[in-house]
A and B are shown apart, each in its own frame.
Chain A
């Protein structure tokens, strides 16, 4: 299994690259919300892109909005979903 820190760094880079965020991967906190107050400011279109990117990069299928809300809370929750998959 991939080292968790490495995995989280890869996820942060995926966020920045796929969503063309104006910040560096290391500026995203592991537990920082991706959406809503105190977040890095993602919206529903970003969520759409993330769902596709997670499927493409990690084979994670997110079938409905409830599952998306669960998985896309933070880098930590995404990493957990990737680890469950692998």
Chain B
């Protein structure tokens, strides 16, 4: 059995990642890390009750991480894969950006990854194996206007990924990042049609990405065969960059 924890599993991308792990290998058990379980998370676990479960997790809180890990390790005694997917936007021009918008976004997107990696490492080190996949963003590489907080946090995730990858490489733990481009999730739900049309026009594939296309990339980096890939940043963006 491989035990997998996906954070931010209430959201569209987290749901797709969790579902992909469950469907693609009957030997996978997926923990859905959620701050407060929504109907979506509950429905997914109801669909696969033998191979998934919900664990309460506030990624910004190291104590919450310790409690979540205790729950997981008590039941399974191992955690093979951590997918740090939880994230949030609070966009705005820096000149007008409220400090709380900076703090919130950094706390969830960057601090959350730090706390998560730190929480799972003892278990992975002790077994001399593990896969960590951090969901960054194309914003980390493009640094668009209006996303100073989000772009900085996600760029931080890339740097954290590459630095940690070097630290734990010889212990058999891989750490990689994925940069999704424009993906059809609730993050785009606030966009108007004109914004979506403009976004699609920037994509060489001329369409938005699907959450399952990001999920497949996550599953690849998490698979046993990806044993010599670490510190990598994989774009899933339809060719934008």
Contacts and interface: CB of A to CB of B under 8 A. Distances in A.
Contacts of B205: none
A48 interface: yes
Interface string B96-137: 000000000000000000000000011001100000000000
Contact of A45 (B122, B126, B171): B171
B75 interface: no
Classify chain A: how many residues form its interface, as a range: under 10
A38 to B, nearest CB: 23
Contacts of A56: 126
Interface of B: 121-122, 125-126, 167-168, 170-171
A49 interface: yes
Interface pairs A-B: 7 shortest CB-CB: A52-B125, A52-B126, A52-B122, A56-B126, A49-B125, A45-B167, A49-B171
A55 interface: yes
A53 interface: yes
A21 to B, nearest CB: 12
Interface in A15-66: 20, 45, 48-49, 52-53, 55-56
